[in-house]
Amino acid sequence: MHHWGYFHPFAFVFFLIIVGVFIMIWRGRGRKCYHPQNDALSILEARFAKGEISAEEFKEMKKTLNS
């Protein structure tokens, strides 16, 4: 039988899992809630920036989204 001393491989794996879960929770704290309207607005802004729609179309669609 092996003498591992203070280091046991299974304890180390368990420790890594706990640290991983903690990091995932910590990183997720700053995320915003899902708002479909904000996504639609960002898509609209991207389309305008790419030149897919005119300024007039952008204004009209933005007005529709905000109402």
Q: Which domain holds residue 61?
A: 33-67
What does the alpha-carbon distance between residue 51 and residue 54 come to, in Å, rounded to a whole number? 7
Does residue 50 lie in a domain region?
yes
So what's the pLDDT on residue 60?
A: 94
So what's the pLDDT on residue 49?
A: 94
Alpha helices, H only, the chain: 9-28, 36-50, 55-66
So what's the pLDDT on residue 18?
A: 94
Does residue 48 lie in a domain region?
yes
Residue 29 DSSP class: T
So what's the pLDDT on residue 19?
A: 94
Does residue 20 lie in a domain region?
no
So what's the pLDDT on residue 50?
A: 93
For the question of whether the overall pTM of this predicted structure is more than 0.85, the answer is no
- Going from the first residue of the chain to its last (67 residues), give the mean pLDDT of each consecutive group of 10, the final group possibly shorter: 66 89 79 65 91 94 89
What does the alpha-carbon distance between residue 66 and residue 37 come to, in Å, rounded to a whole number? 8
So what's the pLDDT on residue 37?
A: 57
